[in-house]
Amino acid sequence: MREAQPNERAVGIDYYISDSDGTGGRLRSRPADFRVRELETGGFEPLSADTDAYPHLVFRVTLENWDTNDFVSALSDRLGMSRERIDWAGTKDKRAVSTQLFSVRAESDVLDDTDLRNATLEPVGRAGRGLGFGDLGGNAFEIVVREADTGPVERITESLRTFGGSGDGDASDGGEVGVPNYFGQQRFGSYRPVTHEVGLEIVRGDWRAAVLAYVGCPHESEPDATREARAFVDSEAAAAGTADWAAALERYPRQLGFERSMLHRLVENGGERSADFRAALETVPSNLQRLFINAAQSYLFNRMLSARLDRRLPFDRAVAGDVVCFADSEAPNGFALPDPDRSQRVTGGRVATVNRHTQRRRAFVTAPLVGAETELGTGEPGDIERAILAEEDIEPSDFDLPGAFHSTGTRRAILLRTDLSIEYNPLTFAFRLPKGSYATVLLREYLKREPTAMR
């Protein structure tokens, strides 16, 4: 193994699996260098279906250099409707060519003559409900790396094949590889990774520290005015007496709407009691409130995976004390997906039996995304989970929180496997990943560059 970049270690990603130097190179030199296509689960009614029974039109969109949220805003403006009537299954990066599903509650002809720059819309069918986040099997990627040194590619691939349990073979063209199923840097903020810090403080019950982590904490990547505003918040919070939240608000740039809304609420309520800071956090949209908690869970998960690597425990097979989940029977054909709702604790007497299933991709070793209803593992895996939670001063019951901050928890596979195809001129990677997994978690093993260069 090889030590990860400092910014990665800050979010719990401690290692590269491969010892080899990286290829270097540049991602996203142009949007077409990063192509992603959703793997659809299907099940839609034909376009001619009764619109009373199936009021949602499902359509496929190919976007070039569009942020998903910006596209939804532009589409809703063009259609003359609220963006709340438009739903989608997954959010994609802007600097890419992405093909993904959307739905809109509307008649079938609503997309006629809809013309948006660098966007191709294709009606697919009708549905009784709008798409929900995660209504997809996964994503297929084709990614070009410019100006790369291809010399290390085979050595890296060999390491990843071994880690994933695929054994020997010709690594020049790829094959099945495996990496720890880390949450990628973008989960926490590629340029200012503080989202998990906010969530951890919320879970610990320190609402004041959570607000300050979000509104303060300047980062070198930010514009001068933003850094100065955050530094003022930090200085006011550290000074004796009551902080001048009104003065902080005056210094904050207008475009930082979420931070300004928190400061507005602190000005209104006085900003002295714990309840004032909780109310400030509740001014942001509920999806951002959930993101704070999800990022905290993701950070703890990453730390558990790094600790498992430290102890040299396998990822492709279970040991006594692990919890495994079984394959999702509704996954797209040929795509093995774990179903966290079908889990089993592995006792010493069951290890061999369970590992026959892991070898056949019918079962997957998991770690917890800790929540209020999480049951921790036993044996050495349980020791890891408890040690990480103790170091962070957190218990599962701490996630029993109000409103959108509440989480019951779930489990997630610790190994990310994929069939990887590699071409060399230019260096191009093609692979498929289950939903919720990150292409950059695989690519980082090859490029070995700072997270900001992986965007």
Catalytically active residues, by annotation: 93
Kindly calculate the radius of gyration of the chain based on its CA atoms and give it in whole angstroms.
Answer: 23
Report how far residue 431's alpha carbon sits from residue 91's, in angstroms, rounded to the nearest whole number. 18
Residue 25, CA distances (Å) to 148, 243, 365, 424, 453 in order = 4, 46, 33, 13, 9
Picking from 399, 358, 395, 352, the residue whose alpha carbon sits closest to that of residue 376 is 395
Question: CA dihedral in degrees (183, 184, 187, 188; nearest 10)?
Answer: 110
* DSSP label at residue 4: -
Helices and strands of the chain, counted as H and E runs = 13, 16
How would you label 107-120 residue by residue, b for 16+ Cβ within 10 Å and e otherwise?
eeebbeeeeeeebe
Tokens of 23: 């290829």
Task: Specify the pairing of strand 97-105 against strand 34-39.
Answer: parallel
Helix (H) or strand (E) run with residue 412 in it: strand 410-413
Q: Is 263 helix (H, G, I), strand (E, B) or coil?
A: helix
User: Do strands 2-3 and 97-105 pair parallel, antiparallel, or not at all (unpaired)?
Assistant: unpaired
DSSP-assigned states of every residue in 320-337: TT-EEEEEPTTSPTT---
256 neighbors 192 (Cβ within 8 angstroms): no
Tokens of 138: 């996964």
**How far from 442 is each of 11, 178, 404, CA to CA, in Å?**
16, 8, 31
Task: Judge contact between 88 and 101, C-beta under 8 A.
Answer: yes
Q: Tell me 183's DSSP state.
A: P
C-alpha 440/C-alpha 433 separation (Å) is 11
